Amino acid sequence: MKLCGREFLVDDKTAEEFAEYMKKFSDLYISLSKIVKKHTVTSDPRILDLGTGPGLLSVEILRQIPDATVIGVDPLKKMLALAKENVYQSGEYIFEPVLGISEKIPLKDRTIDTIVSRFSLPYWKQPHESFLEMHRVLKPHGRIIFEALNRDFPKWKLFGIKIGMLFNSAGRDVTRYHVDAYQLAHTQEEVEMFFKKSGFDILESEGKKNEWKFIIVAEKK
């Protein structure tokens, strides 16, 4: 894994453990999926879940918007296999797993109604290029719902999270995967700047300086 040495992709075992651990937090995925629904106004929308991981957010989006097609992009085959399994176990939905990276999204220009991305940004080697790519694949006035770990989250509170995860049976690798990501995370101001420099208007920017995460909603100009 070697997160801070910038080797970001986890092995299959950690991916499986991450998926199992995160299933305990469906409320986090449900609340984000409701925001995605609020900002998706088209019928039969095509929604990109960038850095979909084991697809737990995609599942909740499909429950909220059953006529949507969700395209889950991730560089890890194992994550995509888990995502496919999790979506198909939850209902008859349209889910397209696509192997790829944010820096070169393997989708055509202006084909996506809404993009959602949750906690994937720390692993993007070229964030600015990735924001330009999101701009390229979105239809005009398409929106992005972006949830990110907060670089400004105080270190002593992060220590509390680490202990909590270990007590909650996250296991050492999953705990490290989450905690180390903060060292690569961005501040809310930095993410706002990525949006502004890539041709987006910011509609909402929610979060406080010392909260563990924040959400930004932006629209393609």
Ligand X SMILES: C[S@@+](CC[C@H](N)C(=O)[O-])C[C@H]1O[C@@H](n2cnc3c(N)ncnc32)[C@H](O)[C@@H]1O
Which residues make up the interface to ligand X (CB under 6 A)?
Answer: 8-9, 22, 50-53, 56-57, 73-76, 79, 101-103, 118-120, 123-124
**Which lies closer to ligand X via its Cβ, residue 33 or residue 40?**
33
Nearest distance in Å: CB 159, ligand X? 19
Nearest distance in Å: CB 79, ligand X? 4
CA distances from 18 to 32, 79, 147, 174, 181 (A): 19, 10, 18, 6, 14
**Side by side, which strands form the sheet with 112-118?**
94-99, 69-74, 46-50, 112-118, 138-149, 213-220, 200-206
**Which lies closer to ligand X via its Cβ, residue 39 or residue 78?**
78
For the packed helices 56-64 and 26-38, what is the interaxial angle rounded to 10 degrees?
A: 50
Beta bridge partners of 202: 218
- The per-residue DSSP string of 106-135 comes to -S-TT-EEEEEEES-GGG-S-HHHHHHHHH
Nearest distance in Å: CB 106, ligand X? 11
Nearest distance in Å: CB 171, ligand X? 14
**Which lies closer to ligand X via its Cβ, residue 74 or residue 113?**
74
Nearest distance in Å: CB 98, ligand X? 10
**Which lies closer to ligand X via its Cβ, residue 22 or residue 65?**
22
204 token code pair: 């909402």
**Which lies closer to ligand X via its Cβ, residue 65 or residue 116?**
116
